[in-house]
Amino acid sequence: MAFDTIPHRLLRQAQTQPQAVAYVAKTGGRWQTTTWRTYADQVRTCARALITLGLEPGGVVCVLGFNRPEWVIMDHAAMMAGGAVAGIYTTCSRDEVEYIVRHSEARVVLVENEDQLAKLARRKEQLPALQTIVLMRGATASSADVITWDELMARGEAQPDAALDQRLAALKDDGLATLIYTSGTTGPPKGVMLSHKNLAWTANALVTVGGMPPAGDYSLSYLPLSHIAEQVATIHMPATAGSTVYFAESLETIASNLKDCRPTVFFGVPRIWEKFHAGLSAKLGELKGAKAKLVAWARGVCTQVHRRLDRGEPLPRRLSLQYALAQRLVIKKLKAALGFDRARTLISGAAPIAPEVLEFFASLDLPIREIYGQSEDTGPTSFNLPGKTKIGSVGPSFPGIEVKIADDGEICIRGPNVFLGYYKEPEATRDCLSPDGWLASGDLGAFDQDGFLTITGRKKEIIITAGGKNIAPKNIEAALKQSPLIAEAVVIGDRRKFLSVLIVVDEAAAKGVTDLRAAVQQVIDGVNEQLARVEQVKQFAILPKPFAIETGELTPTMKIKRNVVAQRYAREIDELYAE
């Protein structure tokens, strides 16, 4: 019998701080707060309703929609009733949505609006297990199998607590708590099964490592809740620590929502930080005269400060005084304008981030800690921590887990955060999870002498040239993307005589460049000087438009689907090797 699951933690928050604010969402143009007591009541009501809709222990509920209170209430409720939620990315096509709903055998699906409901239009022919579709607030539809959120909650209100209390008491550490369908750079998504223990242990470890301040943390929920990182940040850690979550209105309003929320903790994928970086760099570049010199001085001071702090070194008295002055004259105003005046922990993960982006934000007294992990280990494998950070690495192993490098360079993980396996896919589970609990990550890496992990490539993405040389394209691509001119780079060369690269240029950086090919060639030449001869890029093609989720080249977490890119630009690739 387990009493330390995420749902139990939610109920404890309602008991220990019933009037504290659990979440904040905008309704009718105004931010509305919800207390922990009300939040817990909403979850219990929703859980009772799910039981009436036929959700059995071990059953699955799918959720398709942007980050909303209804999303997390449903997630908690499904766990509380002994089931699990499978989130679906809003960018998924109709076929992808149907695949996940069918594969998970979901009996209930929660959708955000009419557009997402349309992706289930073929449900009678394609989805025999689906019985009920629930609409989030504000959406309407007329169909016998579709009900509104208010109707769902009314069904729960009419039911007694006894059945739900039995379900809660029956929860086990190794029971299925959530299904994370990987966005998949190749093939259909796989359902990552995470247990109650996986979620509870990871949330507790992250809260412990982060050290929540006495006043509590504030975060902004805006990344896809289908991803484990956002689930941990929006659902599991707040229930563990009692922190407050603001729900962003949309991806387009993040900048204004940040100023309203003023988060103490903020997680961003590299593309988010890169956009902030581009915008801030442009504005700082417009400064002239004494103001430009003052900002440059303040940034230089902050850079010195964080280089020392990253190594765990004390600040000399003179530097401390300069730092305080820089804060008063420049940095506090700048951070307040961004909405980061309360920020104490800024995190980047899900994909590699360029070191110069991290250095840029450190110069603004906004150090970003890079974290590495995957859905299969509930998020964290390694983490750069205050006083123990190396830019360019993904930090030391996460406390409480084992990480080793296999003979072929693959990163392997063992610990309480390692998943149960892939849903309905025992063979795929055996391929990556050993009998003694080691997870083969599929990533290649190395530890330095200080115990910091560096990712060197993706095992399945290794290029084997016609000459038999093994090359990790990730390092070359990362080096190319350090140039502001290069937005994306995909190295080609498997079974070829030499390496080539497909380039997507940054539109803003390319403005005013008179000879774009010559400028890109100059970037490639500079990178080639740092590479072994067999790793050097010989040819390149500039692609006509950026990669996008909608066109299939990117996953919802902004990872490149190499097979799609290779197929879509097969003619351009063949031309690179025509001679």
**CATH class of the region 462-576:** alpha beta
- Burial label for 225, CB within 10 Å (0-12, 13-18, 19+), is buried
Stretches where the chain sits below pLDDT 50 are 1
Topology annotation, domain 270-458: Rossmann fold (3.40.50)
| pLDDT at residue 187, as a whole number | 63
| pLDDT at residue 144, as a whole number | 83
Kind of pairing between the strands at 410-414 and 439-447: antiparallel
Tens-digit pLDDT profile for residues 163-206? 999 999 999 999 999 999 986 555 678 999 999 999 999 999 99
- What's the rounded Cα separation, in Å, for the pair 241 and 265? 13
> What is the amino acid identity at position 7?
P
For 171, half-sphere exposure in the C-beta direction (CA atoms, 13 angstrom radius) is: 29
Would you list the domain boundaries of the chain?
Answer: 6-262, 270-458, 462-576
| pLDDT at residue 33, as a whole number | 98
270-458 and 462-576 share one fold: no
Report whether 299 contacts 291 (CB < 8 A). no
State how far Cα 174 lies from the chain centre: 24
| pLDDT at residue 579, as a whole number | 64
Phi and psi based region of residue 339 (left: phi greater than 0; alpha: psi -120 to 50; beta: remaining): left
- Burial label for 125, CB within 10 Å (0-12, 13-18, 19+), is exposed
| pLDDT at residue 184, as a whole number | 55
- What's the rounded Cα separation, in Å, for the pair 460 and 453? 19
| pLDDT at residue 183, as a whole number | 66
**CATH class of the region 6-262:** alpha beta
